[in-house]
Amino acid sequence: MSEDQDDIILSELDDDELVPQMFDDLYDGLREEIEEGVTILLGRGWTPYDVLTKALVGGMTIVGNDFRDGILFVPEVLLAANAMKGGMAILKPLLAETGAPRVGKMVIGTVKGDIHDIGKNLVGMMMEGAGFEVVDLGINNSVDAYLDALAAEDADILGMSALLTTTMPYMKVVIDTLIEKGLREDYIVLVGGAPLNEEFGKAIGADAYCRDAAVAVETAKTFVARKHNSGAQA
Amino acid sequence: MNLPSDDMLTTQGLLLDHTSGKVLLIGCGALAREILDLKAANNWSHLDLVCLPAILHNHPERITPAVRAAIEKHRSTYARIFVVYADCGTGGQLEALCHDMGVDMVAGPHCYSFFEGNEKFAANSESDFSAFYLTDFLVRQFDAFVWKPLGLDRHPQLREMYFGNYTKLVYQAQTDDPALTATARDCAARLGLAFERRLTGYGDLKASLAALR
Ligand code: B12
Chain B contact for A194 (CB, 8 A cutoff): yes
- Ligand 1 center–CA A115 separation, angstroms: 8
- With an 8 Å Cβ cutoff, are B150 and A74 in contact? yes
For B84-95, the DSSP string reads E---TTSTTHHH
Cα B190 from Cα B169, distance rounded (Å): 11
Say whether B53 sits in a helix, a strand or coil.
coil
| Distances B13 to A203, B62, B71 between C-alpha atoms, Å | 36, 14, 15
- Average pLDDT over chain B reads 94
8 Å CB contact between A46 and A100: no
Residues in chain A: 234
Indicate which atom in ligand 1 lies nearest the CA of residue A193: 37
- Ligand 1 center–CA A33 separation, angstroms: 28
Residue nearest to atom 82 of ligand 1 (CA): B89
Cα A139 from Cα A121, distance rounded (Å): 10
| pLDDT at B125 exceeding the cut of 90 | no
Cα B147 from Cα B128, distance rounded (Å): 22
CA distance to partner chain B, nearest, from residue A164 (Å): 6
Class of domain A105-233: alpha beta
For A186-200, the DSSP string reads GSEEEEE-TT--HHH
Backbone angles phi, psi at A5, to 5 degrees: -65, -15
Please name the member of B58, B60, B166 whose beta carbon is closest to the beta carbon of A195: B60
| pLDDT at A1 exceeding the cut of 50 | no
Strand partners, B131: B168
Residue nearest to atom 54 of ligand 1 (CA): B58
For ligand 1, say whether the CB of B87 is within 6 Å of any of its atoms: yes
**Looking at domain A3-98, which CATH architecture does it have?**
Orthogonal Bundle (1.10)
Cα A205 from Cα A178, distance rounded (Å): 11
The more confident residue out of A233 and B7 is B7
- Ligand 1 center–CA A227 separation, angstroms: 31
Strand partners, B198: B172
Chain B contact for A142 (CB, 8 A cutoff): no
Q: At CB < 8 A and 24+ separation, what contacts does B13-20 make? A: B13/B50, B13/B51, B13/B52, B13/B53, B13/B54, B14/B49, B14/B50, B14/B51, B15/B50, B16/B48, B16/B49, B16/B50, B17/B48, B17/B49, B17/B50, B18/B45, B18/B48, B18/B49, B19/B48, B20/B45, B20/B46, B20/B47, B20/B48
Cβ-Cβ contacts under 8 Å between A and B: the total is 66
| Distances A53 to A15, A43, B209 between C-alpha atoms, Å | 14, 17, 55
CATH number for B6-112+203-210 (one of 3.30.300, 1.20.120, 2.40.128, 3.40.50): it is 3.40.50
| pLDDT at A160 exceeding the cut of 70 | yes
The pLDDT tens digits for B63-107 are 999 999 999 999 999 999 999 999 999 999 999 999 999 999 999
The pLDDT tens digits for A34-50 are 999 999 999 999 999 99
Q: Where are the domains of chain B?
A: 6-112+203-210, 115-199
Q: What number is the average pLDDT over the span A11-33?
A: 96
8 Å CB contact between A64 and A213: yes
The pLDDT tens digits for A122-139 are 999 999 999 999 999 999
Percent of chain A residues past pLDDT 70, beyond the cut:
96
Q: Where in chain A is the domain with CATH 3.40.50.280?
A: 105-233
Q: Where in chain A is the domain with CATH 1.10.1240.10?
A: 3-98
ipTM of the complex: 0.89
pTM for the whole structure: 0.93
Confidence (pLDDT) at A232: 52
- Nearest residue in A to B64, CA atom: A195
Confidence (pLDDT) at A5: 47
CA distance to partner chain B, nearest, from residue A159 (Å): 19
- With an 8 Å Cβ cutoff, are B129 and A113 in contact? yes
- Ligand 1 center–CA A191 separation, angstroms: 14
- With an 8 Å Cβ cutoff, are B125 and A113 in contact? yes
Residue A4's pLDDT band, with cuts at 50, 70 and 90, is very low
**Which chain A residues touch B92 with a CB distance below 8 Å?**
165, 195, 200
CA distance to partner chain B, nearest, from residue A158 (Å): 22
